[in-house]
Chains A and B, each alone.
Chain A
Amino acid sequence: MSESKDKKAINLTLKVWRQIGPDVKGSLETYHAGDISTDMSFLEMLDVVNEGLIIEGKEPIAFDHDCREGICGMCGAMVNGRAHGPEKGTTLCQLHMRHFSDNDTIVIEPWKSRAFKIIKDLAVDRSALDLIIQAGGYISANAGGAPDGNAIPFPQESAEKAMDAAACIGCGACVASCPNASAMLFVGAKVSHFALLPQGRPEAVKRVLAMVKKMDECGFGNCTNETECEAECPKEISITNIARLNREYLKAGFL
Chain B
Amino acid sequence: MNWFFDIIRSSIGKKMMMAVTGLSFCIFLTGHLIGNLTIYKGKDAFNTYAEKLHSLGPLLTAAEIGLLLFAVVHVLSGTLLFIGNFYARPQRYVIKKSAGGRTVGSRTMPYTGFFVLLFVVFHLINFHFVDKTQQTIYLIVSNAFADPVYVFVYIAAMIIVAVHVSHGFWSAFQTVGANHPKYMPIVRGTAICFSLAIGVGFGFLPIYIFYMQ
Contacts and interface: CB of A to CB of B under 8 A. Distances in A.
A233 B11 CA distance: 22
A28 B94 contact: yes
Given A224-B85, A225-B174, A228-B102, A250 B181 contact: no
A46 to B, nearest CB: 18
Contacts of A107: 94-95
A109 B95 contact: yes
Contacts of B87: 114, 219
A223 B11 CA distance: 8
Given A223-B15, A246-B177, A253-B7, A228 B88 contact: no
Nearest to B175: A246
Interface string B143-180: 00000000000000000000000010011001111111
B90 A179 contact: no
A222 B101 contact: no
A240 interface: yes
Contacts of B7: 249, 253-254
B97 interface: yes
B192 interface: no
Contacts of A15: 94
Contacts of A212: 10-12
Contact of A225 (B88, B93, B99, B175): B175
B2 interface: no
A251 to B, nearest CB: 9
Classify chain A's interface size.
35 or more
A212 B7 CA distance: 10
A28 B167 CA distance: 35
Interface residues of B, number: 43
A220 B95 CA distance: 20
B106 interface: yes
Given A113-B89, A240-B180, A216 B102 contact: no
B201 interface: no
Nearest to A249: B12
A112 B93 contact: yes
A15 B93 CA distance: 13
Contact of A224 (B98, B171, B181): B171
Contacts of B97: 80-82
Max chain A CB contacts within 10 Å: which of B89, B92, B96, B175? B89
Interface of B: 3, 7, 10-16, 81, 84-85, 87-102, 106-107, 109, 167, 170-171, 174-181, 184
Enumerate the 10 nearest inter-chain pairs by beta-carbon distance, A residue then B residue, closest first.
A221-B88, A243-B179, A247-B177, A227-B101, A81-B97, A231-B99, A180-B85, A253-B7, A81-B95, A181-B88
